[in-house]
A and B are shown apart, each in its own frame.
Chain A
Amino acid sequence: MRRTIRSLSVLLLAGLLAAACAAPRQAPTTGGEPAGAKLRVGLVTDTGGVNDKSFNQSAWAGVQKAVAEFGVEAKFIESKQPTDYEKNIDQFATENYDIIITVGFLMGDATAAKAKQYPNIKFGIVDYAYFPTKDSPSCNDTVKDCYDDGGLKNVTSLMFQEDEVGFLAGVVAGGMTQSNVVCTVSGMEIPPVVRFVTGFQNGAKWINPNVSALNVYIPSFIDPAKGKETGNSMIDQGCDVVFGVGGNTGNGGLLAAKERGKMAIGVDTDQYETYPEVREVLLTSAAKNVDVAVFEFIKSVREGRFKAGINTANLKNGGVGLAPYHDWENKIPDSVKAKVQEAINGLKDGSLKTGY
């Protein structure tokens, strides 16, 4: 019996150690000057983590750019699960960070709650805009504006018109498809993903009315194996251009396209750089310049220009856009490229609508 108790306690210790190791991943702080003089920026990622080859990674890149240019001090924490969001924000707040950037639609409620709790910290949230809604935990409809009088005076929402760049990706896909079937391997059915998908489908139909656009939502951003098999299912149904919209899950779709010799379109960043294994089939990527938005946000705080509210990045201000065609530069016909340009102009001057 005594031996059992002893070994149990050893086990408990091992478990604790392991749990400590499993604690959220943190990057070392950058910069060697004494703290206090410098602006301190904390980034809380969604479950995808800073190596998701996608928007979390891009947000961290924006922070790193601010580190390089302004010498701010920066650190990130990765959320392992949604219950970590508030805890991770707390960690930065208790260390008196000046700016906390939260990445992703799913962190909307956590960010609002914490922004109210720490009114002196400036929050930037990627992909979530607050609107007064009945019974909403973050901003209910007793107010007119969530930012001005809803208690979120210290929050800026960094929003992107994914539907615009999704539309352009759709134009490329609709112009390149041989089978007249294009498809999207999507992550969770949340507004940014839906905007991408809707824009994509309408763009494909705009250039090519005969096209049919398939789509499957997968309730995870970290399930590439499922993403790949879903891509395979749609390729079985004739799809020959796969648009992966969902972090690592979407990356699975790109891989399916590569293995079956079809075409693919990346998302969020120029995936030619972040996912080199699929280069040969990658037509382009529907990029959200999260890095630019995050960098500009830090810059605005640094220069005392912080403004609560919604900050929308679109084609017009260069916040979203198609990545280069890279290896496909010479294989995409000029007629398709001309249509892409036509769509860009139309979306910019408002004569063309994405249908979202």
Chain B
Amino acid sequence: MNTTRFMWRSGWITIVVVVVGLFGAWVLLNAVIGGRCDAACVVGSLSQALRLATPIAFAALCGVICERAGVVDIGIEGKMLMSAMTCYAINLFGFQVLKDSMGAEAAGSLSRLLAVGLGMLSALLLAMLHAVVSIRFKVDQIISGTVINILAIGVTGYMYRSFLAENLPAGPGTFPILNIPFLANLPVIGPILFQQKPLTYVMLILMVAVHYVLFFTPWGLRTRAVGEHPRAADTLGINVFRTRYVNVWIGGLVAGLGGAWFTLEAVDVFNPLMTNGLGFIGLAAMIFGKWNPFGALAGALIFGLGSSVTSTVSIFRPDIPSQIPQMLPYILTIIVLTGVVGRAVPPAADGQPYEK
């Protein structure tokens, strides 16, 4: 089919652009730091870029799932924050309860898994609120999303103040690195892709899964129909409301995974506002990727890479004022958004409540 061939061709073009872009970036970086970024440094930076891209990619994926069905979700940040707090608390206190009845090792693994589950659930609760308010009551989705963000800041701040502030026991720490057998030993690709922590793998698998579901299954077709032209979808017998509800819920679960990254995979501490705006950067990545999962991943990776290169420049050039490399990820985002991507058109019914 023509579209398939087109997708393959554009896929190849993308890969060539990425490789050329990365090479150019590497040459430029070496020009700045005097050729000190060798192969090991390149591998380290790429592997770090993938780690830093993980929460952004989860956020972007949540955005794709919701907006493809026509519901704008700017409450991703809040959902991630809520999940980060829940994961931290469950991991810490679950471990204290479990460690006496089983070994510390097993208790740590179990409490982390429990934490991921409940963290996703906490984000789901916020997503359900967003869904009800914006689908059933047809409130402006931007307002609803803002409320979710403020609510999450309030709730997590309150929980932190009441239970997570002082005299805490030692927790079990973060997920260990999970080397994928055989693949982890491959040169270059191994350390970048297959020596990561579990949620990073989950993110990559989800990307593929969501891409498949969105473009190759009836459910995906319905989702896109509802996001483009809900009236037409409705006349063909698709339940617009149900489709939107389920998508927003699934988006919430995915955002929950993004939140889990902060306190279970990156670090083992929680502080208020620790999501640091990455939920919003996820939205930018989604727009960058034109509401496609892989495009969104690319957007997240660019930001992750920019952030990683920032450290490299700072390390080797302490004479450059630290503020200049710190601007890099943002400048990069602007350049790529304006120069490479071109016009990004959202789903036609994005953000519009559906009146039957």
Assess whether B48 is in contact with A232, with CB atoms less than 8 Å apart.
yes
The interface residues of chain B lying within 8 Å CB-to-CB of A49 are: 160, 165, 271-272
Assess whether A251 is in contact with B269, with CB atoms less than 8 Å apart.
yes
Question: Complex: how many Å from CA A62 to CA B274?
Answer: 26
**Residue A248 at the chain B interface, CB threshold 8 Å:** yes
**What is the CB-to-nearest-CB distance from B179 to chain A, in angstroms, rounded to a whole number?**
14
Specify which of A215, A234, A237, A259 lies most central, judged by the most chain B CB atoms within 10 Å of its CB. A237
Question: Complex: how many Å from CA A223 to CA B171?
Answer: 19
Chain A residues numbered 38-95 whose CB sits less than 8 Å from any CB in chain B: 48-53, 80
Assess whether B314 is in contact with A217, with CB atoms less than 8 Å apart.
yes
Q: Find the A residue at minimum CB distance from B44.
A: A236
Q: A4-B137, A223-B274, A277-B173 are in contact. Are A22 and B267 (CB under 8 A)?
A: no
Question: Complex: how many Å from CA A226 to CA B271?
Answer: 13
**What is the CB-to-nearest-CB distance from B162 to chain A, in angstroms, rounded to a whole number?**
9
- Stretch touching chain A among B98-106, B138-146, B343-351: B138-146
Partner of B48, one of A52, A229, A237: A229
The interface residues of chain B lying within 8 Å CB-to-CB of A226 are: 52, 276, 307
Question: Complex: how many Å from CA A187 to CA B5?
Answer: 50
Question: Complex: how many Å from CA A53 to CA B268?
Answer: 13
- Stretch touching chain A among B13-21, B60-68, B149-157: B149-157
Q: A222-B274, A236-B40 are in contact. Are A251 and B267 (CB under 8 A)?
A: yes
The interface residues of chain A lying within 8 Å CB-to-CB of B311 are: 216, 229-230, 233-234
Assess whether A236 is in contact with B160, with CB atoms less than 8 Å apart.
no
**Residue B114 at the chain A interface, CB threshold 8 Å:** no
Main secondary structure of the interface of A (DSSP, over half): helix
Q: A232-B48, A277-B268 are in contact. Are A15 and B147 (CB under 8 A)?
A: yes
The interface residues of chain A lying within 8 Å CB-to-CB of B153 are: 18, 22
Question: Complex: how many Å from CA A22 to CA B276?
Answer: 16
Q: Find the A residue at minimum CB distance from B147.
A: A15
Assess whether B268 is in contact with A255, with CB atoms less than 8 Å apart.
yes
Assess whether B157 is in contact with A21, with CB atoms less than 8 Å apart.
yes
Question: Complex: how many Å from CA A129 to CA B173?
Answer: 39
The interface residues of chain A lying within 8 Å CB-to-CB of B161 are: 25
Question: Complex: how many Å from CA A33 to CA B260?
Answer: 45
- Stretch touching chain A among B181-189, B208-216, B286-294, B315-323: B315-323
**Residue A145 at the chain B interface, CB threshold 8 Å:** no
Question: Complex: how many Å from CA A227 to CA B169?
Answer: 23
Specify which of B40, B52, B271 lies most central, judged by the most chain A CB atoms within 10 Å of its CB. B271
**Residue A276 at the chain B interface, CB threshold 8 Å:** yes
Question: Complex: how many Å from CA A159 to CA B138?
Answer: 56
**Residue A120 at the chain B interface, CB threshold 8 Å:** no
Assess whether A11 is in contact with B139, with CB atoms less than 8 Å apart.
yes
**Residue A113 at the chain B interface, CB threshold 8 Å:** no
Question: Complex: how many Å from CA A136 to CA B192?
Answer: 49
**Residue B158 at the chain A interface, CB threshold 8 Å:** yes
New contact pairs (7) apart from A18-B155, A252-B266, CB-CB < 8 Å? A7-B139, A15-B146, A19-B150, A49-B272, A51-B160, A218-B326, A225-B52
A sample of 7 cross-chain residue pairs with beta-carbon separation below 8 angstroms, ordered by A number, consists of A3-B137, A48-B271, A51-B271, A222-B271, A225-B52, A225-B276, A234-B315
